[in-house]
Structure formats: structure tokens, C-alpha cells
């Protein structure tokens, strides 16, 4: 992981429709965009504009600029809420990372860590299928840095109040084609 | 002049009033002398009829004679017309001054004046009760004066020269060559008699021979050669102004002479139907042409052309009378003639068949394999009649869909035993195939005599056309019926029913039931007495026609619609495991189908509603589908609760799509976000309300795309729901005007939602609500689906 102290951040106003998802974190975007079939869930469209503005303050969108375009790497869920509830040409505050201070690989790691931490640190129950996908996307290398205890599937599932079997293997029975949940 | 003043005091004031004499009298010597003669004629007529003036005639005659004797010497010759200025206000008095140039016609003119004075007196009494005859009076007295001229001596010669009753005199007038003056004179006398009816139709100058057809092209486009829609209309009215005036003077309406076939003529070129144009341009051009055809048909059928219940009673009684007479008559030829007449009239009146088709009727002993003629009689037990039904003329390729097996003829039994008349004739004619084997002229003469007699006796205005129109109109306006049912039962065409017929398919049992109810209603209102004694008015044997379908070829059943609902709702369930895009697409198709079946939306594009087109509280919504630029055919519909829930569920699901698209589908996000957040207040839409998502694109849900999702258990075109709705709503007893308002079927003059229309929105909803809910929700199982519930 990059040295956090080396990352410089500047807050810039962008039109919400001009903030994009970089292709490198598409898998994470898929995870966020797919509505979980069960479990308690607050839809972004259920939020008020005030709530979205609050989110933009407390869980900001972190982006970088490349070729004149703004790419979001952290706060994807906040971006989704902003895009769903605000008008396309509304301005939103975006924390801009200086692209030169961080490598592409580090950007991806940052995005993955953000999603993981926000998911696990939230007080709401999580969907086991989403957890399994997240575990496979993030991988053990990242987990080693941010939550070493979660490197093993058993501990990962246990902390989410599920059995290892429920999180990683029952889905395989239902949908054998999904390779993302293959046991490590 | 002082002498005149003195003299007129000797005449009774009642007489002066009777002849409407001026004050002072002018040309009294000549006129009063003539009046004495005319009063003697009035006295003779009075002896035949009990006239109002009868008691005073002796006094008046004596006074006139005494006056004339004294005054004779004072008569003068004037260079100018001495009665100038008196024509308007003293018409009877002035008429007495005019005498025919030929002395031998004087008696006839006296009789004419006698009749006229009696009629005038009667009309004056009626005027005291509030009626007005000024123009008729003026025309009649003008006739009485002008007939004295040499030019009209032949007409005067044809008039009766002896005293006769007013009715007899009237029949003489009817026999004269029909000129406007004679006709107006006859009308005035008829007014006086209280008949106030027109004389018989002019047969010498039949309107069919009139050069009525003057087609005009409806296209104003320069490139007529490539015009995809070649529409022509017949210029209205069909008569020239002189003829119209003549008809109106005779007490009839010019509309009565209008034949339905002369209303309009529309044809579509089959060569290059699109002519290289887009479908939108083609539709606009077709709409424009149709609008002009509709404008040329502004003259909808008037109530004048429909028989009154009195007239229907007269014709029904006339048929029954002819039939009874034929049975009682000892003269074989006369008996046969009467039976033939009764049989022909039965077909014309009770089956609403025009004369030229009725005389081609054929008879069978048993049900024929393939009936071909317009009218075929079957001598079975009970007897019945096969009528060639109306059929919509399809231009599209409907054969690729599941089509009903439509029967060419409908089997009808009136239920009031009138088939016995035809059966009797058929048997007496040796069960020959052709029921009427004489010449056309023979039957025309036979009918005209009958109609003329009936009109004379009962003061009707029966004509062949009106007789053959009665049952058609009665069926069209009967409770639980519709103009399309009338077309199917009688096989007649109607401009107003031509379009709805494409959406109406019903069975023979229903049609026969409606027909029987109508016949019974006519028979009841007409107090028909088919026969006294043992004969019964109702048919003794119950008639069960074979179960066949008639009308439109496409009509899904409830189970087929239910299978569509099951299939489309199953697609939503399946899509839940596939992803939000698939769920959205399945929801769009299901919602579109639900809206179509709940509102009768035409399958021409996006079946959704804009926010300002729907009221979620009351369920009322406005549809403007396949409409012209002026939105003439926009209509109010009521949407059931379940469908509103489905629309809301679809709209809620759009937000889920927006959430997904915000991260995954930039193009869909942009379009959808603009629609949901940006331009929602604008009338114009940036995207269709109901759409499919393919890749990162929004694709409109076109009728062909919609149709491609139908299961094999529902092999129908995209607009089949309209066939389903109209046919079922009518069969469920929906009033035809409400059903037409719901379907958007109306022509000029029938608009249900125009400023002066009387259909109330609440009544409309109260009628349509239970029927629609029962049909769509209970029978077909349509319900609201929330995929994320």
C-alpha cells in the first residue's frame, strides 16, 4: 500500500454526471450496482437530497482526474446515491487525488479497501453472497494490510455472523458457473 | 266609395271575417257575387262533412245575394289592378276576384275555392292555438289565382267539378302531375285536416335517377399519382336546390331521399401503399383523407328517416292484414297476390332487407349446405331465415394469426311467428326455389299501391327505404345492442359502424337473442295482431340456431388472455435472478400489456402515460393514440386500481434502473436521469415511458417488439386486446355509447367528450368499472407485480 501521508487531496466541485467509474474498478461497481435480493437495504433512491449532501460530506467521493475526466475510486456508493437523487448537472464536492502521487495498482487497492471497510464497519447485516464476492475481489493481499484476521474464510464468515459454508459454498451449489466464489 | 261603405254594413261581420275582406270593400260587386256561388259549393261540402261554418251558411248566402243584386250596377272597370296592395293581408277575398279564362272551368275553380275557404277557416282556428301556416297559406292562394291562367288550364281541367269531401279532393290532387304549386296547395289542405303529413313520394322522378354522384378527390397534394390513400367522397347534398325546395314544399325532408350508399366512397390504392413514405407520413395522410370523408358525411342519419312507432305499427298491421285477408279471400289469384305481398313486406320490414335484395330471396325445405343469397328462407321447424351478415374488409395480413371461423350467414327467427307468413307463401308457391318470381315492375307496383293506400289511410310517410330501415335502426338502438350488431343481424352497412365492426365478434346465439328481443319489442309497441283466435303471437317452437361466430375474425378468449398474463408475469419472476436490466424489460412488457387490456390503448407505440395525463386519485386518464394533429380522437379512460398499482410499480422500478445505470450504463443513466429529474415537467418526452434496455441503449417498445414476446398460446396481433375488449364489453351488456367512448370510436356528431355532449364522466366510470374489473382482473387474472417486493 502507498504511504497515505504522501497522497495529496484537493476538494473540487464537479457536475455529478461528469464523475465516472474507471474501468479498473468495474468489478467493484458491479457489486455496488447489483441490488441485493434480500437483507435490510436502503435504496439510494429512498434518500433525500439532504441525506445525499450529508453523505457527500461524511463519506466523500474520492477521485482522480485523467485526460480531463473525473474518475471515482472511493465512495462509489455515495456517487451512486448522488447520481440517483440529484439532477445530472448538480455540482458535488469531489476529493481529488493527485494522480502523479499514486500508481494505478495503488488506486485499485485504495478502492477495494474503501469498499471493504465501509461494508464491514457498517452496523447493518450483510448479504452472504455479496460478502463472498467481495472477499474474492479484494483478495488476501489487501486483507493482510487492513484486516489480517479476515484472511481466512472461516474468520471472514464468522465475523459477518455466517458460517463458512453459507458464505462460500451454498452459492456454488445454486450457481455452479460462478467461479468468483471458488474456495481459495 | 261612400256607397261601398254603406253597402258593406249589410254583410254579416262573421262573413267578412270568413273571407278576410278589406275595409272598405274593393271590387265588391264582382267579388260578393262570386262569393255567393262559392258559398253554395261550401254548403254542398258541408252537407258531406260536418263543418264548423255549416250553421251560418244559409244566412251568409242570402246576404251575399241581396248585396250582389244591389251592387251589380256599381261595378267598374279599372285600368290598374284594383286589388293592388291587398294580396298579402286579404288572400281569400282577392282570390274570389280571379276567375279562369276558360268559362267551362269556372265550376271547377269554384270548387277549388270552396275547398280552400274551408281549409283556410280550419287553419285560422289552428293558428289561434299557436300554430303558423303563413307561408303555406300564401302558396295555396297563389296556386288558386295562378291556376286561372291559360297555361294551367289543363291542371284545372283535371280537378273535380262536383262536390266531394276534402279527403277525396286531396286524393284527386295527389293523382295530378306533381308540380310545386299543386303540392303546396295539397299540403295546406292537409294541414287544415290536421294530418300535417307529406304526400306520397314522387315516383315519376325517382331520386335514384338523379345525377347525385359527383365524386371529388380528397387529395390536395400535387403528386396524386403516388398518393397512397385514394379517397373519394360523394358531393352532398344529392339534389339540386330546386329539387330540394320542391321536396320540402311537399312536406317531406330532402334527407329522406338520401340513400346510404350515396354518402361516401373511400378506396385505398393497393399499389405501393406506402409510396416511399415513412409510416408516420402515411398515417398522417390517411388521417387527413379520412377526416375529409368524415366531413363529407356530416349529414348523419336523421330521425326523420326512422319510422315512428305509429308508422311501424301501421306497416306491421298492414302485413298482418294482408296475410289474414289472403287466408279469408276466396279469389285464388287475389289471395296469392296478398300472400306474396305480405311475404315480401315481411322480409323487407322484419329482416330489414332492401327491396332490390328482398325480391331475390330463395327458399329451402332444409338447411342449405352453403347459403349464398342475401336472404334465404328455411322451412324447418321452426322456420327461420338466413341473412348474409356484414363483414369487415381486412387489408392487413391477419391470416398469420389465429382467426375465428366466421360464418357467412346468420340464422334468425323473430320469435313473433312472422316466419309463418313466408312459410305459407313458400308452401303455396309449390316450394319453388325463388320466392318471388314475377317481374320487378310487378312487385314495385304491388308495393307502391300498398304503401300509397297505407299512407292515405293512416297519414304515414312510408317509403320502401324507410320500411327496410326500421328494424335495423331498432336493433342499433335497442338496450344491450349496438350498431355493429344491427349490421351483423341485417347484413347492412353503415358508415358509423364500419370501423367498430373490425373490433366486434360475437356468436349467433347472442345475435338471435337480440333480434328476437327487438322483434318482440316492436310487436309489443305496435300492438301487433298477427291473427285472432287460435294463432299465437310467439313462436310455439324454441329456435336454437347453430353456434357460429360472426363479425371480426380476431377475438382472443379469456383463457388465452389469461395465458398471456401468466407467461408475461412468469418472465418477471425469471428475470429476478438475471439482473435489473432483465427485470426492467420484463416489467415494461407486462406493464404495456396490462395497460393495453385495461384501457384499450391502440398498439401504435408507447402505451404509457405522462405525469399530466393521469390522475392517480380518481383513475381517470387521457389517451391520444393514433390521433390527428388536432387531437380530435383523444379520449378519457378510467384505469382500474390494479393497473394503477402496476404503473406505479413500473415507475418505482425505474429508480432501481437509474441506480444501476448510474454506475454501469452511462447512456441509459443520462437519458433516464434527464427524464426523471430534468424535463419531467415538459410535455415532450426525452425517452418513451415504456422502453426496453439493450446494451447501453434505450429502445422503444414498438408493437412488433411487444408482439414478439407473446407466447404461442396467445397467437394474436398487438392490437388484439381491442377486439377482446369491445366484443366482451358489449356482450357483458355495456351500453354502446359508453363502450364506443371507451374505445375511441366516434364520428362527427357522436363525440362523447365535446362541449355539448351529455355523457357524464362519473356515470361513465360507474358503468365501465365493474365490467372492466370483472373481465380483466377476475376472469383474466391481471394483477400488479412488484419485482422487488
Q: Which of A29, A43, A88 sits opposite B663 (nearest CB)?
A: A29
Q: What is the pLDDT of residue B505?
A: 94
Q: Report the complex ipTM.
A: 0.75
CA-based R_g, chain A, Å: 17
A89 grid coordinates: 448537472
Please indicate if any CB of chain B lies within 8 Å of the CB of A167: no
Q: What is the pLDDT of residue A16?
A: 92
Q: What is the pLDDT of residue B532?
A: 43
Q: Which of B580, B662, B673 sits opposite A80 (nearest CB)?
A: B662
Please indicate if any CB of chain A lies within 8 Å of the CB of B576: yes
B274 grid coordinates: 406506402
Residue B39 CA to residue B58 CA, distance in Å, equals 9
How many pairs of residues across A and B have Cβ atoms under 8 Å apart? 58
In the block, which residue shows the cell 472511493? Answer: A74
For residue B667, the chain A residue with the least C-alpha distance is: A17
Q: What is the DSSP string of A117-165?
A: HHHHHSSS---HHHHHHHHHHHHHHHHHHH-GGGGSHHHHHHHTTS-HI
B605-648 pLDDT, tens digit per residue, is 788 888 788 899 899 999 988 777 778 888 999 999 999 999 99
Q: Which residues contact A124 (CB under 8 A, 6 or more apart)?
A: A39, A40
Put simply, the answer to whether A17 touches B669 (Cβ < 8 Å) is yes
Which parts of chain B have pLDDT scores under 70?
1-9, 52, 71-80, 175-181, 194-277, 289-305, 396-397, 527-541, 678-685
CA torsion sign, B26 to B30 to B36 to B41? negative
A113-148 pLDDT, tens digit per residue, is 888 888 776 655 577 888 888 888 888 888 887 777
Residue B320 CA to residue B442 CA, distance in Å, equals 21
Put simply, the answer to whether A87 touches B673 (Cβ < 8 Å) is yes
Put simply, the answer to whether A30 touches B788 (Cβ < 8 Å) is no
Helix axes B720-731, B558-575, angle to 10 degrees: 130
- Reference B503, options B733, B233, B290, B731; nearest CA is B731
Helix axes B641-664, B580-599, angle to 10 degrees: 150
In the 8-state DSSP scheme, what is residue A71?
A: E
Please list every residue in chain A whose beta carbon sits closer than 8 Å to the beta carbon of residue B660.
Answer: 33-35
Please indicate if any CB of chain A lies within 8 Å of the CB of B663: yes
Put simply, the answer to whether A34 touches B655 (Cβ < 8 Å) is no
Residue B696 CA to residue B662 CA, distance in Å, equals 11
Nearest-neighbour CA in chain A from B789: distance (Å) = 10
Put simply, the answer to whether A83 touches B656 (Cβ < 8 Å) is no
A45-89 pLDDT, tens digit per residue, is 778 888 889 889 989 999 999 888 899 999 999 999 999 889 888
Nearest-neighbour CA in chain A from B597: distance (Å) = 31
Please indicate if any CB of chain A lies within 8 Å of the CB of B188: no
Please indicate if any CB of chain A lies within 8 Å of the CB of B658: yes
Q: Which residues contact A180 (CB under 8 A, 6 or more apart)?
A: A132, A133, A136, A137
State the virtual CA torsion across B437, B440, B446, B451 in degrees, nearest 10: 130
For residue A21, the chain B residue with the least C-alpha distance is: B663
Q: Are B719 and B603 in contact (CB under 8 A)?
A: yes
Put simply, the answer to whether B664 touches A30 (Cβ < 8 Å) is yes
Please list every residue in chain A whose beta carbon sits closer than 8 Å to the beta carbon of residue B676.
Answer: none
CA torsion sign, B647 to B652 to B658 to B663? negative
Please list every residue in chain B whose beta carbon sits closer than 8 Å to the beta carbon of residue A32.
Answer: 663
Q: What is the pLDDT of residue B257?
A: 44
- Give the H/E segment covering residue B159: none
Q: Are B299 and B255 in contact (CB under 8 A)?
A: yes
Put simply, the answer to whether B580 touches A34 (Cβ < 8 Å) is yes
Residue B566 CA to residue B350 CA, distance in Å, equals 47
For residue A76, the chain B residue with the least C-alpha distance is: B663
- The pLDDT > 70 percentage for chain A reads 82
Backbone torsion region of residue B85, taken as left when φ is above 0, otherwise alpha when ψ lies between -120 and 50, otherwise beta:
left
pLDDT at A97 over 70: yes
Phi and psi at B474, nearest 5°, equal -65, -40
Please indicate if any CB of chain B lies within 8 Å of the CB of A88: yes
For residue A34, the chain B residue with the least C-alpha distance is: B660
Amino acid at each position: 500500500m502507498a504511504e497515505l501521508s504522501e497522497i495529496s487531496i484537493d476538494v473540487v466541485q464537479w457536475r455529478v454526471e461528469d464523475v465516472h467509474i474507471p474501468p479498473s474498478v468495474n468489478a467493484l461497481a458491479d457489486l455496488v450496482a447489483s441490488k441485493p435480493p434480500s437483507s435490510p437495504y436502503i435504496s439510494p433512491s429512498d434518500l433525500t437530497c439532504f441525506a445525499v449532501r450529508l453523505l457527500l460530506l461524511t463519506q466523500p467521493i474520492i477521485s482522480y482526474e485523467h485526460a480531463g475526466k473525473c474518475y471515482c475510486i472511493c465512495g462509489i456508493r455515495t456517487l451512486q446515491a448522488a447520481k440517483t437523487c440529484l439532477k445530472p448537472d448538480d455540482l458535488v464536492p469531489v476529493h481529488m487525488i493527485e494522480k502523479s502521487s499514486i500508481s494505478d495498482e495503488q488506486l485499485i487497492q485504495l478502492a477495494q479497501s474503501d469498499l471493504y471497510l465501509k461494508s464491514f464497519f457498517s452496523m447493518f447485516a450483510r448479504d452472504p453472497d455479496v460478502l463472498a464476492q467481495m472477499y474474492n475481489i479484494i483478495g488476501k493481499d489487501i486483507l493482510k494490510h487492513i484486516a489480517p484476521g479476515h484472511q481466512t474464510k472461516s474468520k471472514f464468515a464468522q465475523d459477518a455472523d455466517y458460517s463458512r459454508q453459507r458464505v462460500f459454498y451454498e452459492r456454488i451449489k445454486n450457481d455452479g458457473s460462478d467461479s468468483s466464489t471458488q474456495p481459495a | 266609395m261612400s256607397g261601398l261603405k254603406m253597402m258593406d254594413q249589410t254583410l254579416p261581420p262573421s262573413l267578412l271575417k270568413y273571407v278576410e275582406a278589406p275595409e272598405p270593400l274593393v271590387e265588391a260587386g264582382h267579388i260578393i257575387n262570386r262569393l255567393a256561388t262559392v258559398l253554395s259549393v261550401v254548403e254542398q261540402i258541408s252537407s258531406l262533412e260536418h263543418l264548423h261554418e255549416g250553421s251560418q251558411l244559409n244566412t251568409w248566402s242570402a246576404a251575399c245575394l241581396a248585396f250582389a243584386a244591389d251592387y251589380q250596377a256599381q261595378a267598374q272597370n279599372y285600368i290598374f289592378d284594383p286589388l293592388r296592395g291587398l294580396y298579402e293581408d286579404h288572400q281569400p277575398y282577392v282570390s274570389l276576384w280571379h276567375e279562369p279564362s276558360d268559362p267551362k272551368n269556372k265550376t271547377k275553380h269554384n270548387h277549388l275555392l270552396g275547398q280552400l275557404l274551408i281549409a283556410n277557416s280550419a287553419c285560422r282556428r289552428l293558428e289561434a292555438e299557436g300554430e303558423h301556416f303563413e307561408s303555406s297559406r300564401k302558396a295555396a292562394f297563389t296556386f288558386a289565382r295562378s291556376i286561372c291562367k291559360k297555361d294551367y288550364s289543363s291542371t284545372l281541367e283535371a280537378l273535380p267539378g262536383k262536390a266531394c269531401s276534402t279527403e277525396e279532393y286531396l286524393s284527386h290532387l295527389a293523382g295530378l302531375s306533381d308540380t310545386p304549386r299543386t303540392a303546396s296547395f295539397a299540403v295546406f289542405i292537409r294541414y287544415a285536416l290536421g294530418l300535417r303529413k307529406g304526400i306520397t313520394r314522387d315516383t315519376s322522378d325517382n331520386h335514384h335517377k338523379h345525377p347525385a354522384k359527383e365524386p371529388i378527390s380528397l387529395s390536395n397534394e400535387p403528386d396524386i399519382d403516388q398518393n397512397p390513400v385514394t379517397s373519394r367522397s360523394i358531393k352532398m347534398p344529392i339534389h339540386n336546390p330546386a329539387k330540394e325546395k320542391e321536396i320540402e314544399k311537399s312536406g317531406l325532408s330532402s334527407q329522406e331521399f338520401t340513400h346510404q350508399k350515396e354518402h361516401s366512397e373511400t378506396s385505398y390504392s393497393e399499389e405501393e401503399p406506402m409510396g416511399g413514405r415513412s409510416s408516420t407520413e402515411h398515417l398522417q395522410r390517411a388521417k387527413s383523407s379520412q377526416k375529409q370523408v368524415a366531413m363529407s358525411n356530416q349529414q348523419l342519419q336523421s330521425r326523420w328517416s326512422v319510422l315512428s312507432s305509429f308508422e311501424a305499427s301501421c306497416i306491421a298491421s298492414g302485413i298482418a292484414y294482408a296475410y289474414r285477408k289472403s287466408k279469408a279471400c276466396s279469389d285464388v289469384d287475389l289471395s296469392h297476390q296478398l300472400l306474396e305481398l305480405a311475404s315480401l313486406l315481411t322480409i323487407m320490414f322484419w329482416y330489414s332487407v332492401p327491396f332490390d335484395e328482398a325480391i331475390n330471396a330463395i327458399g329451402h325445405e332444409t338447411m342449405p349446405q352453403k347459403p349464398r343469397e342475401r336472404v334465404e328462407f328455411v322451412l324447418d321447424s321452426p322456420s327461420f331465415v338466413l341473412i348474409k351478415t356484414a363483414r369487415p374488409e381486412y387489408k392487413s395480413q391477419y391470416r398469420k394469426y389465429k382467426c375465428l371461423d366466421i360464418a357467412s350467414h346468420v340464422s334468425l327467427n323473430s320469435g313473433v311467428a312472422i316466419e309463418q307468413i313466408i312459410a305459407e307463401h313458400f308452401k303455396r308457391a309449390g316450394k319453388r326455389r325463388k320466392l318471388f318470381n314475377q317481374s320487378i315492375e310487378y312487385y314495385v307496383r304491388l308495393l307502391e299501391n300498398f304503401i300509397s293506400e297505407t299512407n292515405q289511410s293512416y297519414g304515414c310517410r312510408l317509403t320502401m327505404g324507410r320500411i327496410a330501415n326500421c328494424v335495423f335502426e331498432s336493433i342499433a338502438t335497442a338496450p344491450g345492442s349496438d350498431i355493429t350488431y344491427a349490421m351483423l343481424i341485417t347484413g347492412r352497412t353503415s358508415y358509423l359502424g364500419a370501423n367498430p365492426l373490425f373490433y366486434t365478434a360475437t356468436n349467433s346465439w347472442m345475435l338471435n337473442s337480440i333480434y328476437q328481443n327487438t322483434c318482440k319489442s316492436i310487436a309489443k309497441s305496435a300492438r301487433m295482431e298477427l291473427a285472432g283466435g287460435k294463432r299465437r303471437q310467439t313462436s310455439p317452437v324454441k329456435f336454437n340456431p347453430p353456434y357460429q361466430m360472426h363479425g371480426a375474425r380476431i377475438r382472443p378468449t379469456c383463457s388465452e388472455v389469461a395465458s398471456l398474463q401468466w407467461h408475461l408475469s412468469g418472465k418477471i419472476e425469471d428475470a429476478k435472478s438475471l439482473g435489473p436490466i432483465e427485470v426492467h424489460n420484463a416489467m415494461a412488457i407486462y406493464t404495456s400489456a396490462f395497460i393495453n387490456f385495461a384501457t384499450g390503448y391502440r398498439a401504435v407505440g408507447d402505451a404509457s402515460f405522462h405525469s399530466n395525463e393521469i390522475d392517480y386519485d380518481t383513475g381517470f386518464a387521457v389517451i391520444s393514440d393514433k390521433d390527428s394533429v388536432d387531437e380530435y380522437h383523444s379520449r378519457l379512460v378510467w384505469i382500474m386500481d390494479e393497473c394503477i398499482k402496476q404503473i406505479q410499480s413500473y415507475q418505482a422500478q425505474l429508480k432501481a434502473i437509474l441506480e444501476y445505470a448510474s454506475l454501469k450504463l452511462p447512456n441509459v443513466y443520462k437519458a433516464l436521469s434527464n427524464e426523471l429529474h430534468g424535463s419531467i415537467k415538459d410535455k415532450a418526452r426525452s425517452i418513451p415511458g415504456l422502453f426496453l434496455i439493450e446494451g447501453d441503449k434505450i429502445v422503444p417498445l414498438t408493437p412488433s417488439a411487444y408482439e414478439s414476446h407473446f407466447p404461442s398460446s396467445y397467437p394474436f396481433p398487438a392490437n388484439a386486446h381491442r377486439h377482446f375488449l369491445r366484443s366482451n364489453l358489449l356482450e357483458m351488456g355495456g351500453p354502446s355509447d359508453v363502450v364506443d367512448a371507451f374505445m375511441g370510436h366516434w364520428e362527427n356528431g357522436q363525440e362523447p367528450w365535446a362541449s355539448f355532449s351529455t355523457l357524464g364522466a362519473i356515470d361513465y366510470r360507474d358503468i365501465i368499472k365493474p365490467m372492466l374489473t370483472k373481465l380483466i382482473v377476475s376472469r383474466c387474472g391481471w394483477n400488479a407485480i412488484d419485482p422487488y417486493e
